[in-house]
Chain A
Amino acid sequence: MYECPNCNANLKFDIKTQMLLCDRCDTKMDPYAFQKEQDAEEQTIQEGDYEITVFTCPQCGGQLVSDDTTAATFCSFCGSSTILQSRVSNLRRPRYIIPFQKTKEDCRDIYRKMMKHAWYAPGQMREEAHISRMRSIYMPYWVYTAAKYGRARQSASQYVRNVNYDVTMYSWLQGHVKAECKWLAFDASSSFSDRLSNAIAPFVWLDIKRFTPSYLSGFYADVDDVPPELYESDVSDIMQYELYKRFAKEPIFEKYTLGDMSDDLRPNEIYKELALFPVWFLTYRDKDRVSYVVINGQTGKAAGDIPVDVNRYFMGSVLLALPLFGLLSLAGNLQPAVMLVTAGVLAGICAFFSVKQQKQLRAKEDYKDDKGSGRYLDIGVRRERKPGKFAVPAVPLTVGDVLAVTWKSAIGILAAILIMVCQPALAFYYYAAAAAILMLMGWDVMEIIGRHNLLASRPLPQFERRGGEEDGR
């Protein structure tokens, strides 16, 4: 706990004034002016083969609940903001920090605005009690600077017309290049999904400050657990693509058509620094799964995975179905064959959505959508990156994968085709088949919603592991 020099109360970083502020006596201090060597008391206990590090709250002496990546937290007993100094010292000390610019109130408004469009979100997500649980966390990011100094060569071709001949000349364009790309940021926390961090990017480097632990007072903070080498290939790809694009626009190269990107355009030096960026988190938990809404603490850009409440969704669909039923009745009931074909087409649409979701689920299960995840590191997958694109690679599905989600649609389509081929005399058969297909599709759509919810959530544990709360809970 950072104590106020006047009243010994907890000094916390105030977002509005961008100063350390004492809630009790209103003392304001420059974060760089306040230096403290030790905050939470740290004790290492050796028990056989195990080494346990216990942090205790400097205010009440209670044990702090933390994990290996926690850098700042709150005491579960007294609610004091505490910084685990050893986590942000020496080699693991971040170089930069972007302090929070958006207050909790700002983020609540942003969140409420975002939820206006989430008609079928669970009711709990709109409750004030839930919104007030928004947490401010400094997330670790690797910030890269890539540089290319020296000779570079790029293939190019030039077209000329020579009397009756079309002539294409192939050549190398060679020269000395001096280029730099600074502030390429990638999240360095294995718990923070790449999708979420990409959705709230970018953090604007103009507000970046030299790191001092005082900025962490009053916030949660994580340290890195992703090696910096992980994103070097991405940085190299980006640099190569950017240089290529720039050269293509240069007037001197105008008369040339550049060939495939040359490896000479890749950087020959990559520097990395650790930085802490501000993110507001709001967690919604449903049984053993969690969904996150995250807000960029600097720019206010929000993104989130919003699950669907099945009951609300069903009721909403029934309400929408009433005018549709009216329209269908007014327009005259559909002929039996038309009804059957329509049911078959709907089965096809359901199959399309199911396969699309299955691909996304598989990418998620294989951690192909999250390069920084622990699992991703374990299995050593290298993400294929198209030049300049930040897309998740396509995941091939097996026949079994496809059938597992489309068997209902397949039965529906086959039944429709069979009836249309046999052309029974009685209209009843058409309607009965259409009704059966539509019932299957109802089941299928509910499963599609279930898969949507799986895609919009992650299994525990994630940021749920955090212990103390600001109010000492």
Chain B
Amino acid sequence: MMGNKIGMTILLAVLLCGLTVQAAEPGSMQAEAAQTENVFYTNPSTGYQAIIMDERNTLSEEDKEELLQIMEPITRYGQAVYKTVTSSGTFGANKYAEIQYGASISADSGVLVLLDLGSGTFKVRCGGKMERIIDKKLAKTISTSATNAFAQNGQAITPPKYAFEQVSARVEQARKALPVKYACNAMLALIIAMLINFVLVERLSQMQKTSEQELMDNVIGYSRHGEVLIEYLTRTETYHPRSKR
């Protein structure tokens, strides 16, 4: 009897914990559900996905097709997600984008383009490998340009299209620059090594100069002087009262 009671208590505790955790993270569960619904493309070689989570239906099917074509190349480097939300709530826009990035992208690398319909602003947030290419500063620049574009023509497709085009171009550039980058690293290492070696060569093969002291220690010297007479020539006096010291 007693054992059953203990077992029931543990079971209840586990259930309660589970419910608490679920209540604390409703977004992640919803995100997973939403992700499975909204996955439009999965890159077969990397496993990264292109996801459009347009819950407010701002894009037509044709728009989604068009956007997807731009997002596809990005999946070679990370997850690409486009998401629309009604409002960023009490969070700051950046913090909200960060929360949404965590909720929408489970992969180690990715980019989220977030449209806040409440404020009419776009946010671009990158993570992992892609953050090394598109840092926060660049992401902010792209976000601002996308927001401005949205404000100008009001078409929902234009800003995400612009943002993903920018991201795609940057990661493609980074890919092309990669061999040059490694070549640079190798050359940099070689030049640093050559200079270190040169300094070592200079230090180790430098001819040690005999010090003046060492030379003079070997010189026999003596000096004597008779009575010293002092002939005063002149004097200078500077007024410097004690109180000023």
In the complex, are the beta carbons of A317 and B197 less than 8 A apart? yes
Q: Which residues of A contact B (CB under 8 A)?
A: 117-120, 148, 152, 162, 164-184, 195-196, 198-205, 238, 242-243, 246-247, 250, 252-253, 303-306, 308, 313-314, 316-322, 324-325, 328-329, 332-334, 336, 339, 342-343, 346, 349-350, 353, 388-390, 426-428, 431-432, 434-435, 438-439, 441-442, 445, 448-449, 452, 456
B216's contact among A204, A242, A320, A439, by CB below 8 Å, is which?
A242
A388's contact among B212, B224, B228, by CB below 8 Å, is which?
B212
> Can you show 25 pairs from A to B with CB atoms below 8 A apart?
A118-B204, A119-B200, A165-B239, A174-B230, A179-B224, A180-B222, A181-B219, A199-B209, A199-B210, A201-B215, A202-B210, A202-B215, A242-B216, A242-B221, A253-B228, A303-B207, A304-B207, A305-B205, A308-B201, A324-B189, A346-B191, A353-B198, A388-B212, A427-B173, A438-B184
Cβ of B39 under 8 Å from chain A: no
B145 to chain A, nearest CB (A): 13
In the complex, how many residues of chain B place their beta carbon closer than 8 angstroms to a beta carbon of chain A?
Answer: 63
Q: A164-B242, A180-B221, A242-B216 are in contact. Are A427 and B196 (CB under 8 A)?
A: no
| Cα–Cα, bound, A205→B241 (Å) | 58
Cβ of B190 under 8 Å from chain A: yes
Cβ of B136 under 8 Å from chain A: no
| Cα–Cα, bound, A182→B218 (Å) | 9
Chain B 9-48 residues near chain A, CB threshold 8 A: none
Q: A316-B197, A445-B198 are in contact. Are A202 and B224 (CB under 8 A)?
A: no
Residues of B within 8 A of A434 (CB): 184, 188
Cβ of B194 under 8 Å from chain A: yes
Residue of B nearest to A329 (CB): B185
Cβ of B57 under 8 Å from chain A: no
Residues of B within 8 A of A181 (CB): 219-221
| Cα–Cα, bound, A356→B176 (Å) | 40
| Cα–Cα, bound, A441→B187 (Å) | 10
| Cα–Cα, bound, A138→B200 (Å) | 33
In the complex, are the beta carbons of B220 and A175 less than 8 A apart? no
B224 to chain A, nearest CB (A): 5
Cβ of B119 under 8 Å from chain A: no
B197's contact among A120, A168, A202, A388, by CB below 8 Å, is which?
A120
Q: A183-B219, A184-B219 are in contact. Are A346 and B184 (CB under 8 A)?
A: no
Q: A164-B240, A179-B221, A324-B189 are in contact. Are A452 and B210 (CB under 8 A)?
A: no
A204 to chain B, nearest CB (A): 6
In the complex, are the beta carbons of B237 and A313 less than 8 A apart? no
| Cα–Cα, bound, A200→B208 (Å) | 9
Residues of A within 8 A of B132 (CB): 332
B204's contact among A117, A316, A318, by CB below 8 Å, is which?
A117
B207's contact among A119, A195, A238, A320, by CB below 8 Å, is which?
A195
Q: Mark B84-104, 1 if CB is under 8 A from A, else 0.
A: 000000000000000000000
In the complex, are the beta carbons of B190 and A318 less than 8 A apart? yes
Residues of B within 8 A of A238 (CB): 216
Cβ of B151 under 8 Å from chain A: no
| Cα–Cα, bound, A200→B218 (Å) | 13
Q: Mark B128-147, 1 if CB is under 8 A from A, else 0.
A: 00001000000000000000
Cβ of B177 under 8 Å from chain A: yes
In the complex, are the beta carbons of B186 and A321 less than 8 A apart? yes
Cβ of B238 under 8 Å from chain A: yes
Known: A205-B218, A339-B185. 7 other contacts (CB 8 A): A165-B237, A175-B227, A325-B185, A329-B185, A336-B181, A435-B183, A445-B194
| Cα–Cα, bound, A175→B229 (Å) | 6
| Cα–Cα, bound, A64→B184 (Å) | 61
Residues of A within 8 A of B236 (CB): 167-168, 170
A356 to chain B, nearest CB (A): 10
Q: A166-B238, A353-B198 are in contact. Are A334 and B224 (CB under 8 A)?
A: no
Cβ of B202 under 8 Å from chain A: yes
In the complex, are the beta carbons of A438 and B226 less than 8 A apart? no
In the complex, are the beta carbons of A339 and B184 less than 8 A apart? yes
B218's contact among A152, A165, A183, A435, by CB below 8 Å, is which?
A183
Cβ of B2 under 8 Å from chain A: no
Cβ of B4 under 8 Å from chain A: no
Cβ of B1 under 8 Å from chain A: no
In the complex, are the beta carbons of A390 and B184 less than 8 A apart? no
In the complex, are the beta carbons of B201 and A317 less than 8 A apart? no
Residues of A within 8 A of B62 (CB): none
Q: A203-B218, A334-B185 are in contact. Are A448 and B231 (CB under 8 A)?
A: no
